[in-house]
Chains A and B, each alone.
Chain A
Amino acid sequence: MSTAQPEALARDVPPWLFAAAAVTTLPHALHLPLWLSLLTGLLCGWAAWLWWQDRRLPRRWLLLPLAVAGSIGIVADFGTLLGRDAGVAMLVMFMAMKLLEMRSRRDAMVVILLGYFLLLTHYFYSQDMPTGLWLLLSLWLVTAALIRLHAGTIGIRENLRYAGLLAVQALPFMLVLYLLFPRISGPLWGLPQDAFSGKTGLSDSMTPGSIANLVQSGEIAFRVRFDAAPPARPQLYWRGPVMEHFDGTTWRQSRQRRAPESIQPAGPTIGYETTLEAHSQRWLLALDAPVTLPDGASLDGRLSALAQQPLETRQRFRLAAATAYRFNAEEAPAVLRDNLQLPPNSNPQTRMLAESWRQQAVQPERVVALALRHFSTEDFYYTLQPPLLGRDGIDDFLFRSRRGFCEHYAAAFVVLMRSAGIPARVVGGYQGGEMNPRDGYLVVRQSEAHAWAEVWLANRGWVRVDPTAAVAPERIEQGIANALPFGEPLPAFLQVRADWLRDIRHRWEALNNAWNQNILGYDARRQRELLSRLGLPDADWRSLAIALGVACTLVLALITLWTLHHRRRVAPELMLWHRALRRIRVDCAPGETPLALAARVGNSKPELAADFAAVVHHFLLARYAPENPEHLAALRAAVARLPRRRNP
């Protein structure tokens, strides 16, 4: 109890603030530059040490150069002070430095408000379940710090209980806001541009090695739930970009617009729902061949389903596919010409081999069969670590190294076909997927990235040919882990063969999926559905705002009623007593009787002794003597005689 410096922080406040700062900055260490994480940790540790040793905080002129140096470091590292990453880095540094100037309540308030704000910034990076749980925990601690700051001496457990209670009371509002706050479809509004960097996924071009790199990632590309039994694994070809242009090393998409395709399903239609992770491209990775598309999506003339906008957030679509189909049995001559294009004067050996096949067999189907037999009977290996190839890459591969990954086989096959006069092209996408028995979702990862070929045959249209299947049929039938030769280093997550570990992974992914589908997947469409079920069809933002206001008022009214109903009535003499204590700025210790307090005040503040003794006398009468309204009136008068508290 200090009255000389009413603003000074009590001794046990800083630990709460350290805890609040730690929980709100810690997860940012995952993506901040190492030097900044170390600096932050060092500053926090310094502040804590100073508190522990009860030492003076550093002077302001010492902190200023530190702040400037930190800001310069951030500019040097990020090239800017704006944007998501640099902004968050600045906030984290400010938080750490603020801990070193906690002199007054105002400084503590800054730490707490900064803590609340930092909580929000975590959602720029991750919206998964552990993040949500961590932020709840952080919210709890920051609120406890706030309570400690304002409630005076209070036990740790009691403080945490109050903070938890506050959080629980906020729950109905959270629910109302979650359900009714207008949802904007499309990319998140106002999110800085760099928020979308660093997404993994297929790219729109293919060079040898690009898919092999992608395979190293265990990240989930998308999840699929089939309406009925899923098709067999060898039929699960998820189409991404179709690459028709070849410059000798790189395959690229053709920029030419194409006429709409004609798809003739030759079997049953399979309905499914796919939840795509953000990959910053437009393709929907639909199962071959798509027969029903979601609203706004279109086919690009090469059987690839495209969304209107690049997918910058996780999105869900309904599609239908026919795994047996006939596609563009009639094709424009210009398209066929494009798909015979080869860079001039390249890969002479390959061309000679193809030429020999064309002379052996008249029908294109025969040539395709000959090529596949060549791959399966000759000494080809399927490996993630192919040797480097020279200028005539296809020649090198087919006649010298003979070791390659799906992209090598697809590229070599297409070059062979084109040399033999058969229109052909490379298709990128994913093949296969892992069924999670826990929730029935088929999980397709980046490691399932694949490339295959398509040839155009008269009357049959574009036909899928997968040369990888000729070399390593296990890749198509069982997945990549079984197709690689023994001893070849696998991506870490694929090495796990223990059943129980796989089961844990399945459970974890099912849990995450449920979170994604049910919590994060609550989008504008689902909000509309909910509102129309509540009798608010065609809700615009105006009616949403009204609904929001009404719901919040309702919740508030219910909570107020409940509290009023359950509150313990505070006796009027107690309220007067507490007012008197506030006026003379004295805390009553637990177990300290009013008379003992009067004695203490008499010693420490003799100028107040007489007035306060009168208050104590009337308070004791009002509280402990038989009930009598005169006592209360006398107490009120005595409290009024106390000097008014000056504003701090």
Chain B
Amino acid sequence: MTNTKTHQTGSRPHAFMPVLDAANRIILGKETEVRLAAACLLAGGHLLIEDLPGLGKTTLAHTLARLLGLQFARIQFTADLLPADITGVSIFDREQGSFRFVPGPVFSQLVLADEINRATPKTQSALLEAMEEGQVTSEGETRALPHPFFVIATQNPAHQIGTFPLPESQLDRFLMRIELGYPGRDAERALLASGGRRQAVEQLASLLPPEQLPQLQAEIANLHVAPALIDYIQALVAASRHSPSFRHGLSPRAGLALLAAARAWAWLAGRDMVLPDDVQAVFPSVARHRLHSAQGGGLAGTSDIDALISSVAIP
């Protein structure tokens, strides 16, 4: 790190390259989204994918779990899902003559919470508490969740029937929120020709030794950040508070999230320092679900976010 020759403004190969390449062979034509999802996991944050059904949200989560060799569990959220269905229950063991805790699916390294806004708020909050605390308290006993621990939640657009929108405080727990969108023409043709990706995902092998992911996360968390970049992040956050487009500005926690995501993005780009470009690249995904439009109740529009970025001078 201290060797000046390694400081680069361009890209250089790194351990995560094969993972991205493999993921891009499964999720066709979504390089940016895949990279954002990877950056989110590398920054140690949880990811929220929001889009219409059938656009590959689950496939993306599944692919990442496979490639990173993470222990994977999937919870399909429904209106009648109960908190215990996530955290686990104690059942009476006749042989031992005592209660035995049966861990729920949340005790996995990567949890895919599918269609999280279909469940009731009570159930949603059980998962979100686990995300925040990194532990589960059940029947008076606190149990630590595995490490690393990621949640990739998918969400249907809020206007769909039978959804319970996540409250703002819980949206804040997700480091990033991304949308996949419809595939491009070539990507869709390739998808149709291959007859779906489920099969290919099942055959994926882990590309990263399990112990390497925490090392990478630690390396990224220590990536160099210059005072000028701190200034830039602060200026962006401050500008969101003064902008008339948004109901509230970004919180200090959002600023920290932005910094962490920018570090991961810079690392993925093969740099060992963070540039304003990295901040700008992750800013919409980090900030948009934390900002609300001043007119109407919805999330801030992408144009407002872009306008914010292009109005803040880079110090």
The interface bits of chain A over 581-617 (1 if a CB of B lies within 8 angstroms of the residue's CB, else 0) are 0000000011111111000000000000000000011
Contact A590 B311 (CB under 8 A): yes
How far apart are the CA atoms of A113 and B7 in the complex, in Å?
A: 52
Chain A residues whose CB sits within 8 angstroms of the CB of B37 once the complex forms = none
The interface bits of chain B over 286-315 (1 if a CB of A lies within 8 angstroms of the residue's CB, else 0) are 000000000000000000000001111110
Contact A628 B4 (CB under 8 A): yes
Q: List A591-648 residues whose CB lies under 8 Å from chain B.
A: 591-596, 616-617, 620-621, 623-626, 628, 630-631
Contact A621 B228 (CB under 8 A): no
Residue of B nearest to A590 (CB): B313
With both chains docked as a complex, state the minimum distance between the C-beta of A398 and any C-beta of chain B, in angstroms. Answer: 82
How far apart are the CA atoms of A589 and B310 in the complex, in Å?
A: 8
| Residue of A571, A590, A591 with most partner-chain B CB within 10 A | A591
Interface residues in B, total, Cβ within 8 A = 22
How far apart are the CA atoms of A621 and B6 in the complex, in Å?
A: 11
Contact A595 B275 (CB under 8 A): yes
How far apart are the CA atoms of A623 and B224 in the complex, in Å?
A: 12
Contact B9 A593 (CB under 8 A): no
Q: List A234-269 residues whose CB lies under 8 Å from chain B.
A: none
Residue of B2, B226, B310 touching A624 (CB-CB under 8 A): B226
How far apart are the CA atoms of A488 and B9 in the complex, in Å?
A: 91
Residue of A nearest to B307 (CB): A591
Contact B312 A620 (CB under 8 A): no
Residue of B nearest to A568 (CB): B315
Answer yes or no: B273 CB below 8 A from chain A CBs: yes
Contact B228 A592 (CB under 8 A): no
Contact A621 B7 (CB under 8 A): yes
With both chains docked as a complex, state the minimum distance between the C-beta of B275 and any C-beta of chain A, in angstroms. Answer: 6
How far apart are the CA atoms of A590 and B232 in the complex, in Å?
A: 12
Answer yes or no: B129 CB below 8 A from chain A CBs: no
Chain B residues whose CB sits within 8 angstroms of the CB of A571 once the complex forms = 228
Contact A591 B7 (CB under 8 A): no
With both chains docked as a complex, state the minimum distance between the C-beta of B239 and any C-beta of chain A, in angstroms. Answer: 10
How far apart are the CA atoms of A185 and B276 in the complex, in Å?
A: 65
How far apart are the CA atoms of A617 and B277 in the complex, in Å?
A: 13
With both chains docked as a complex, state the minimum distance between the C-beta of B313 and any C-beta of chain A, in angstroms. Answer: 4
How far apart are the CA atoms of A60 and B9 in the complex, in Å?
A: 54
Chain B residues whose CB sits within 8 angstroms of the CB of A620 once the complex forms = 9, 273, 275
Known contacts A595-B275, A596-B277, A620-B275: A625-B7 contact under CB 8 Å: yes
Answer yes or no: B280 CB below 8 A from chain A CBs: yes
Known contacts A571-B228, A630-B4: A591-B312 contact under CB 8 Å: yes
How far apart are the CA atoms of A591 and B315 in the complex, in Å?
A: 10
With both chains docked as a complex, state the minimum distance between the C-beta of A147 and any C-beta of chain B, in angstroms. Answer: 18
Known contacts A590-B310, A591-B310, A591-B313: A624-B274 contact under CB 8 Å: yes
With both chains docked as a complex, state the minimum distance between the C-beta of A152 and any C-beta of chain B, in angstroms. Answer: 13
How far apart are the CA atoms of A596 and B276 in the complex, in Å?
A: 10
Chain A residues whose CB sits within 8 angstroms of the CB of B226 once the complex forms = 623-626
The interface bits of chain B over 260-284 (1 if a CB of A lies within 8 angstroms of the residue's CB, else 0) are 0000000000001111110010000
Q: List B79-103 residues whose CB lies under 8 Å from chain A.
A: none
How far apart are the CA atoms of A401 and B181 in the complex, in Å?
A: 103
Chain A residues whose CB sits within 8 angstroms of the CB of B9 once the complex forms = 595, 616-617, 620-621
Contact B310 A592 (CB under 8 A): yes
Answer yes or no: B22 CB below 8 A from chain A CBs: no
With both chains docked as a complex, state the minimum distance between the C-beta of A576 and any C-beta of chain B, in angstroms. Answer: 14
Chain B residues whose CB sits within 8 angstroms of the CB of A593 once the complex forms = 275-277, 280, 314
With both chains docked as a complex, state the minimum distance between the C-beta of B127 and any C-beta of chain A, in angstroms. Answer: 37
With both chains docked as a complex, state the minimum distance between the C-beta of A198 and any C-beta of chain B, in angstroms. Answer: 54
With both chains docked as a complex, state the minimum distance between the C-beta of A153 and any C-beta of chain B, in angstroms. Answer: 12
Chain A residues whose CB sits within 8 angstroms of the CB of B309 once the complex forms = 591
Contact A591 B277 (CB under 8 A): no
How far apart are the CA atoms of A591 and B306 in the complex, in Å?
A: 10
Chain B residues whose CB sits within 8 angstroms of the CB of A626 once the complex forms = 2, 7, 224, 226, 273
Contact B224 A591 (CB under 8 A): no
Contact B312 A590 (CB under 8 A): yes
Known contacts A624-B226, A624-B275: A592-B314 contact under CB 8 Å: yes
Contact A625 B277 (CB under 8 A): no
How far apart are the CA atoms of A621 and B7 in the complex, in Å?
A: 7
Residue of B nearest to A597 (CB): B314
Chain B residues whose CB sits within 8 angstroms of the CB of A596 once the complex forms = 277
With both chains docked as a complex, state the minimum distance between the C-beta of A160 and any C-beta of chain B, in angstroms. Answer: 18
Answer yes or no: B19 CB below 8 A from chain A CBs: no
Contact B273 A624 (CB under 8 A): yes
With both chains docked as a complex, state the minimum distance between the C-beta of A238 and any C-beta of chain B, in angstroms. Answer: 63
Q: List A142-165 residues whose CB lies under 8 Å from chain B.
A: none
Answer yes or no: B229 CB below 8 A from chain A CBs: yes
Chain A residues whose CB sits within 8 angstroms of the CB of B275 once the complex forms = 593-595, 620, 624
Residue of B nearest to A628 (CB): B4
Chain B residues whose CB sits within 8 angstroms of the CB of A630 once the complex forms = 4
With both chains docked as a complex, state the minimum distance between the C-beta of B38 and any C-beta of chain A, in angstroms. Answer: 21
With both chains docked as a complex, state the minimum distance between the C-beta of A507 and any C-beta of chain B, in angstroms. Answer: 41
Q: List B176-219 residues whose CB lies under 8 Å from chain A.
A: none
How far apart are the CA atoms of A625 and B7 in the complex, in Å?
A: 7
The interface bits of chain B over 1-29 (1 if a CB of A lies within 8 angstroms of the residue's CB, else 0) are 01010010110000000000000000000
With both chains docked as a complex, state the minimum distance between the C-beta of B18 and any C-beta of chain A, in angstroms. Answer: 26
Q: List B32-78 residues whose CB lies under 8 Å from chain A.
A: none
How far apart are the CA atoms of A589 and B311 in the complex, in Å?
A: 8
How far apart are the CA atoms of A68 and B274 in the complex, in Å?
A: 65
How far apart are the CA atoms of A370 and B228 in the complex, in Å?
A: 100
Chain B residues whose CB sits within 8 angstroms of the CB of A595 once the complex forms = 9, 275, 277
With both chains docked as a complex, state the minimum distance between the C-beta of A629 and any C-beta of chain B, in angstroms. Answer: 10
How far apart are the CA atoms of A571 and B276 in the complex, in Å?
A: 17
With both chains docked as a complex, state the minimum distance between the C-beta of A96 and any C-beta of chain B, in angstroms. Answer: 37
Known contacts A596-B277, A630-B4: A623-B228 contact under CB 8 Å: yes
How far apart are the CA atoms of A631 and B277 in the complex, in Å?
A: 19
Residue of A nearest to B310 (CB): A591
With both chains docked as a complex, state the minimum distance between the C-beta of A233 and any C-beta of chain B, in angstroms. Answer: 63
How far apart are the CA atoms of A631 and B313 in the complex, in Å?
A: 23
How far apart are the CA atoms of A591 and B226 in the complex, in Å?
A: 18
With both chains docked as a complex, state the minimum distance between the C-beta of B315 and any C-beta of chain A, in angstroms. Answer: 9
How far apart are the CA atoms of A48 and B16 in the complex, in Å?
A: 61
How far apart are the CA atoms of A593 and B236 in the complex, in Å?
A: 14
Chain B residues whose CB sits within 8 angstroms of the CB of A623 once the complex forms = 226, 228
The 5 closest A-B pairs by CB, nearest first: A591-B310, A590-B313, A624-B226, A593-B276, A625-B7
What 4 new A-B contacts, CB under 8 Å, besides A591-B311, A623-B228?
A: A591-B312, A591-B314, A595-B275, A626-B226
8 chain-A/chain-B pairs, Cβ below 8 angstroms:
A571-B228, A590-B310, A592-B314, A594-B275, A617-B9, A624-B228, A624-B275, A626-B273
Q: Which residues of A contact B (CB under 8 A)?
A: 571, 589-596, 616-617, 620-621, 623-626, 628, 630-631
Q: Which residues of B contact A (CB under 8 A)?
A: 2, 4, 7, 9-10, 224, 226, 228-229, 272-277, 280, 309-314
